[in-house]
Amino acid sequence: MRKRTEPVALEHERRTASGSPSAGPAAAALDADCRLKQNLCLAGPGPAEPRCAADAGMKRALGRRKGLCFRLRKILFFVLGLYVAIPFLIKLCPGIQAKLIFLNFVRVPYFIDLKRPQDQGLNHTCNYYLQPEEDVTIGVWHTVPTVWWKNAQGKDQMWYEDALSSSHPIILYLHGNAGTRGGDHRVELYKVLSSLGYHVVTFDYRGWGDSVGTPSERGMTYDALHVFDWIKVRSGDNPVYIWGHSLGTGVATNLVRRLCERETPPDALILESPFTNIREEAKSHPFSVIYRYFPGFDWFFLDPITSSGIQFANDENVKHISCSLLILHAEDDPVVPFQLGRKLYNIAAPSRSFRDFKVQFIPFHSDLGYRHKYIYKSPELPRILRPPPRPNCRASAEPRLLESALGEMCAGELHLGVPGEVGTGTPALSCSPPGSMKASALVPLSSCQPGPPEMRPEREHRFQGRPWQT
């Protein structure tokens, strides 16, 4: 049948094309038959139309799903490859690890002029620039006690340098990594210390802020030593305390150990949120969580730190320090775990180097929310830092109460739990055995005389002295 139909159709097409008149009614019938078959083929069975559309939709959905899975698989393989590649990259380029420790390229807040500390509310602060080494310049801020803020208006650097020889004690503040000397929480601490009657001298290490140079542990320690010597030349017999925060505690213990070795120790060392050494801190840092259980973590991440010459060995340094030590640490510190500060205290307390000095550890309860850098908010900080009055000097009833509180600290344990309230409770302060701190053992103040007439305070102050020292 098919064989007969095909030649007929071909013959019909030839005749139609040639325009032969012999086609007649037969050709018309053949045309109708062909059109009918074509229409039936095109139409197809009616109920199949919805099924075809559904099949096409399912194919498109499956295609989209396969495309999404393919993209997610690509992203997953990329992240996994990056996760595995980073340890090898850090191992091959130890300088990356050093950058991550210093974070000196992070300048927060960014849009501030470090030459104008008054823009940060420090209207009794002067900006200096010192040169510890050739091709190295460091920016320094010197904040005088708050009671001198009126006299300090419009004064030049020479006036500020002369002010260091007044009867007020001096704190050299060593900040942590990232940011500059103009960081918000740092400025707030300067204000608190200044209100307590301290001179505050702080600076940016080489490579930080507007200081020129390449950062390194040795360079940071040398910068601190240079500033300390610069202060001592101008301060005379005034007490000088060193305060280190976070990474700055590593610089502080390096500095104080060197000062003790040359027999010129500071009057006291204050460590805020300290760690034991940089390896333990790097292992405990929240950024290391995703790699902490990675095979060969020490080899990939910790050994490059040591090979870069970065140690900040607080646990070793405190064994060679011979001055009073005060450690402040918040229990909810997420950057430097609280247990590292406690561990450092447990290493320092029995050390022979501290046999003639007092070592104190003061924690701040996690409910206070001071975390890593807000201890300055504590209402107990003035009481902790304010030294007892000098014997044979006029003193109001308040200093006597403070002296009594200090006596209680060394007779037992004090719990700093609720803001504005001191009460007994969880052990919070460790110091000398009961009865070891006597009034006669307190180091007297360097001077009870007021400062020069142009810098004489408007009221009597009780801030001079050497706290935490027996």
The closest alpha carbon to 209, from 326, 311, 112, 310, belongs to 112
Residue 188 corresponds to which tokens in the numbers above?
A: 């707030």
Catalytic positions are 246, 333, 372
- List Cβ neighbours of 154 (8 Å cut-off, separation of 6 or more): none
Q: Are strands 421-423 and 415-418 parallel, antiparallel or unpaired?
A: antiparallel
- Alpha-carbon span 183 to 176, nearest angstrom: 10
Q: In what order do the strands lie in the sheet with 170-174?
A: 125-133, 136-143, 199-203, 170-174, 240-245, 268-272, 324-330, 359-364
- List Cβ neighbours of 165 (8 Å cut-off, separation of 6 or more): 234, 235, 236, 238
Question: CB neighbours (10 Å) of residue 76?
Answer: 10
For residue 168, the one-letter residue type is: H
What number of residues does the chain have? 470
- Alpha-carbon span 209 to 106, nearest angstrom: 9
How large is the angle between the packed helices 48-92 and 94-102, nearest 10 degrees? 90
- Alpha-carbon span 94 to 269, nearest angstrom: 32
User: How many Å from the N-terminal Cα to the C-terminal Cα in the chain?
Assistant: 123
